[in-house]
Amino acid sequence: MQLDNRILTKAESLFFKYGIKSISMDDLSRELGISKKTLYQSVENKKELVIQVFQNLIQKEIDAVISIRKDADDAIDEMIEVARYVIPMLRQISPTLIFDIQKYYRDVWLLCEEFNQQEVFTVIKENIERGIKEGIYREEFHSEIIAKLYVGKTNLVIDEDIFPLKEYNKENLFKEHIQYHIRGIATSKGLKLLEKHFKKLS
């Protein structure tokens, strides 16, 4: 059953702000201004709600990236515009959200992992191949290997053991991650474009 968009949007907002464990179906129904009985007519249980919220979130990201790739001036512009889409979400994420998913909602964590290993990997691989054709990425790099390294480093960025939130800002981490990736593969022409496009993230 596909949930009403208002339920998905409100649940996503609450989960991002407070984590999943601390938000009950009572909390959600109260925020929506509906009875819990009405809410349960739309969704079977909280687990199903969490799965649908993240399925919807992933689809929104896929759709946004398709649009960004279509409109981007070049491969580096594409990467920066994707970062501009992702960073506002990072600002909203509660410190407990990722912990809750990993500990209590393993199916959702595996869904996110699959998204990273397949969708994100493909986008980065094709971005590298585009950049090589445009002469802004160096052609000696193996696109598949670099794309896998990128996905692996993205997982490190959200790892609380490596980058505790008390010490590291996730927005800054992601900016460093993007810049590190592009500088590592860019040609001199690409570095000039990076300087131009990166200003959009400031």
pLDDT above 70 for 83: yes
CA 63 to CA 115: how far, in whole Å?
Answer: 13
Q: What pLDDT was estimated at residue 1?
A: 46
pLDDT (average), residues 122-141 = 98
CA dist 1 and 39 (Å) reads 13
For 3, phi and psi rounded to 5 degrees? -75, 155
Q: How far apart are CA 177 and CA 180, in angstroms?
A: 5
Q: Does domain 53-201 have CATH number 1.10.357.10?
A: yes
Enumerate the β-bridge partners of residue 88: none
Determine how many CB atoms are found less than 10 A away from the CB of residue 50: 22
pLDDT of residue 2: 52
Q: Taking the domains of the chain in order of start, what are their residue ranges?
A: 53-201
Q: Quick: pLDDT tens for 94-115.
A: 879 988 999 999 999 999 999 9
Radius of gyration of the chain (CA): 19
157-195 residue pLDDT tens = 888 889 988 899 889 999 999 999 999 999 999 999 999
Which residues does 118 contact at the CB level (< 8 Å), separation at least 6?
none
Lowest-pLDDT range of 3-12, 59-68, 140-149 = 3-12
pTM of the predicted model, to two decimals? Answer: 0.91
Q: Mean pLDDT across the stretch 133-150? A: 97
> pLDDT at position 92, please?
87
Own/partner long-range contacts of 156-165 (Cβ < 8 Å, ≥24 apart): 158/98, 160/95, 160/98, 160/99, 165/95
